[in-house]
Structure 1
Amino acid sequence: MPIDFITSTREFEDCLVHNKYLVANFTATWCGPCQAIKPLVDQMYENTAKYGNIEVVRIDIDAQSELASRYSVTSIPTFLVFESGELTKRLSSANVSELTQAFDQLALKATDGVRKGSGAKAVLMKVDDDELKSLVPKGYEILNPKILMSEFVSFNASPLLTVQTKDGDAPSANQLFKLEENSPVYSDADSQLLFYVPFTSVCKVYSVLLKVEKVTAVEGVALDEEDIAETQFPNIINVINGRVTLFDEAVLDTKHHHEKLEGKLVDGQWYECKLKYVRFQTCYGLSIFFDGEDEDYHTVVKQVVLVGVSGESAQPQFLQRLEE
């Protein structure tokens, strides 16, 4: 199981409450030393025989600036060690021996703690959709918890439901990509939808899973009956490796994955859009474009799940270089 990125201050506070021994790794995707030390941290985390009672979470300083400010993190990588919610040690370097020593010292104390996981892990554990699980091949994972929501951008997309989240926040288009508290979206002005989905680390993307569902006039739906009558499923999906912010560019199908969906989508079921893996082996973010057959209708999408390999995976050559 890869190390999770913290997605909110509240999630980190929950981690402190539920994990007696916790290491918070403050990092950033653009930080070279952070990426260099990452495989070592992953390797120790996966060594459950020795470090299984220590929880580790990552905090992207760009996405969680409030937490970085709270703990006076001014350089990265920074590792903060917490015991029973109290900050007991701070390391601000990518020094292999110092970090290993800190973990070893904490492991000697961590005889009565049990790793409880972070909020992101809890989300993954709540995926009880057997059909969805069957579409995640062995060796791959769901990448949605690795989305950097602070940089997520949607164009012409509005949340279909008006229900607030459990934190009291207004519904937003990014809920289309959430496994928990998921909400469908619809195209507002015309039939086109465009999303830029950045990752917290470089990923290899294997497939885009898409679910659609017919809209009905029930309480909490943002559309009235007349608009509901003019909704449709997407008949085209374009997936681009990188950031696209113009619809005219997203419509082109020459340099990315283009697929016609007409007749392929079934109400309430997942559709697997397999990508040409060679084009998506190094992804810092994806642009996903949908369009419907009738340009005057609202295109509706219920949920999108990304499958692949997270950049959290260890790179042995980096580890060897560090140890040398």
Structure 2
Amino acid sequence: MSKTIQIASPGQFADLLKSSRIVVTDFYADWCGPCKQIAPIYEQLSAQLSRPNQITFVKVNTDTQKEIASQYAITSLPTFMLFEQGKQVDKIQGADPRKLQAVVKKLVAAAEGPSSGLGSSSSGSGSGSSWRVGDLPKGYGDVTDQVDVKGLELLNADSDFGTVRTLFEGSKPTGLQNGKAGEKTKDWVESDTDEQLMLFMPFQSTLKVHTLQITSLPPTSEDDEAPMRPKTLQFYTNRPHILGFEEADDIPATQAIELSEKDWDSTGTATVSLRFVKFQNVSSLVLFVVDGEGSGEKVRVDRIRIIGETGEKRELGKLEKIGDEQGE
């Protein structure tokens, strides 16, 4: 469900500017083509970064809210305005997704600094770096925000737990927040009939994928029915759709990796370094969790983060298969 608030009156907007530390505002119109083009990216930022009373994403229809549009001198669409503690701190005119993402994340990162008081209770930014340990590989950044969340697919997931979008939230998993894995919120994914999971991740831009970070926080008890951490992983690049389990057995993986106990750090995160030369021009990625590290029947995954570089933006809603026949 979208976390973006549709502004219905000047009073509502004024109240939000007072009650939320950061307010990101999208001034748009229904007839505006560029507004429609960038809307999915704005919604994705909202889904990743919104936090009650701290970071709020809103939309203002300039045709129905002319008083607000006039107050802030909106002369072109789309226009994005960023407010901190009620004061305008930035303005972006036009449908420039990279600039929008950069400005919003810079503001959120500044708000999550040591003096902000937001870090430990945050539901996360796109990087989610506040709870993970270690530095990103030199020269690369968190590109998880390039995942096209509307195209995500996950096979063999137990519906009693989180959805596929849960995997890409920046928020700190409840297993870390509370020191235990059995929370009522169940903000993780578990496999259903056996230990296998198949995840399809389409991207908004072609990516150079350097590293994948997988967080898994199974219970620490000796319960034989407790879910396991992933062990054997297979990656497939540039598939036009998700693979079936039998189909994956017949297709050579771009890379296969086997994790061991030493690969998991104190946050329950394994950093998977990919053969970078094979992941240079990636429009989609399929992750196949083949099995778990024990003798259980289910596998658990809490979060996934993608590290690399963004490339050429692809047309929204269109996934083109790009040849992955690249040299070692």
Instruction: Work out whether the TM-score is over 0.5.
Output: yes
Q: What is the aligned counterpart of 1:244 among 242, 245, 251?
A: 242
Encode CA deviations 1:49-105: one digit per residue, 9 max, x unaligned: xxxxxxxxx4338978xxxx9969xxxxxxxxx96876833469xxxxxxxxx99xx
Deviation at 1:252, TM superposition (A): 5.2
Instruction: Please list, as runs of the form range in 1=range in 2, the aligned pairs for 1:264-303 lying within 5 A after superposition.
Output: 264-266=262-264, 268-293=267-292, 297-303=297-303
Contact 1:160 1:184 in 2 (8 A): no
- Tell me which amino acid in the other structure corresponds to 1:205: V
Counterpart in the other structure of 1:165: none
**Residues in 2 aligned to 1:258 and 1:86: alpha-carbon distance in whole angstroms:** 53
Deviation string 1:98-136 (CA, Å, 9 cap, x unpaired) is xxxx99xx9xxxxx841395479631475313514x1x1
* Cα distance between partner residues in 2 of 1:20 and 1:296: 45
1:12-58 deviation per Cα after TM superposition (whole angstroms, max 9, x unaligned) = 869x9556986775465xxxxxxxxxxxxxxxxxxxxxxxxxxxxx4
Q: Where in structure 2 are the equivalents of 1:215-234 lying within 5 Å? A: 215=219, 227-228=225-226, 231-234=227-230
Is residue 156 of structure 1 aligned with residue 156 of structure 2? yes
Residue in structure 1 matching 2:40, options 60, 80, 83 = 60
1:301 & 1:27 partners in 2: Cα distance?
33
Equivalent residues in 2 for 1:1-324 (5 A)? 8=2, 10=4, 18=22, 26=35, 28=37, 58-60=38-40, 88-90=74-76, 113-115=88-90, 118=104, 122=108, 123-124=125-126, 127-129=129-131, 131-132=133-134, 134=135, 136-158=136-158, 171-180=162-171, 182=173, 183-215=187-219, 227-228=225-226, 231-242=227-238, 243-251=241-249, 254-266=252-264, 268-293=267-292, 297-311=297-311
Q: Tell me, in whole angstroms, the C-alpha distance in 2 between the residues paired with 1:256 and 1:263.
A: 24
SS of the residue 2:170 aligns to = coil
Match of 1:114, SS state, is strand
Q: Is the 8 A contact 2:225 2:296 kept in 1?
A: no
Structure 2: distance between partners of 1:236 and 1:249: 17
- Residue by residue over 1:160-189, the C-alpha shift from the partner in whole angstroms, topping out at 9 and shown as x without a partner, is 75xxxxxxxxx4232112112653211111
Shift of 1:244: 2.8
Change beyond 3 A, Cα 1:226–1:253: same
* Counterpart position of 1:166: none
Q: Which amino acid in the other structure matches residue 178 of structure 1?
A: E
**Partner residue of 1:49?**
none
Taking CA–CA contacts closer than 8 Å with sequence separation of 6 or more, which of the two structures ends up with the larger relative contact order? 1
Name stretches of at least 5 consecutive residues in structure 1 with no aligned partner.
Answer: 1-6, 29-57, 73-81, 93-101, 107-111, 162-170, 218-224, 314-324
SS of the residue corresponding to residue 195 of structure 2 reads: coil
For normalisation by structure 1, the TM-score amounts to 0.56
Is contact 2:217–2:302 with CA below 8 Å preserved after alignment? yes
Q: Report the alpha carbon displacement of residue 245 of structure 1 after superposing the two structures with TM.
A: 2.6
> Helix, strand or coil: the match of 1:131?
coil
Q: Which residue of 2 aligns with 1:46?
A: none
Cα RMSD (Å): 4.4
State the AA in 2 paired with 1:211.
T
Q: Give the aligned residue type for 2:4.
A: R
Change (3 A) 1:279 1:172: same
CA contact (8 A) 2:235 2:253 kept: no
Aligned 8 A contact 2:236 2:285 in 1: yes
- Structure 2: which amino acid aligns with 1:290? V
* Maintained 8 Å contact 1:152/1:198: yes
The 1:181/1:129 distance shift into structure 2, 3 A limit, reads: closer
Tell me: CA distance 1:21–1:155, structure 2 relative to 1, closer, same or farther (3 Å): closer
Paired position in structure 1 for 2:180: none
Q: Is the 8 A contact 1:196 1:288 kept in 2?
A: yes
After superposition, the Cα gap between the structure-2 partners of 1:20 and 1:189, relative to the gap in structure 1 and judged at 3 Å, is closer
Aligned length: 230
Q: Which runs of 5+ in 2 are unaligned?
A: 8-12, 29-33, 45-58, 63-67, 82-86, 92-102, 109-124, 174-186, 314-328
1:145 is paired with a residue of what secondary structure?
helix
The DSSP-based 3-state class of the residue aligned with 1:214 is coil
- Secondary structure of the residue aligned to 2:311 is coil
Query: How far apart, in 2, do the equivalents of 1:175 and 1:115 lie?
Result: 30
* In 2, Cα distance between equivalents of 1:126 and 1:61: 18
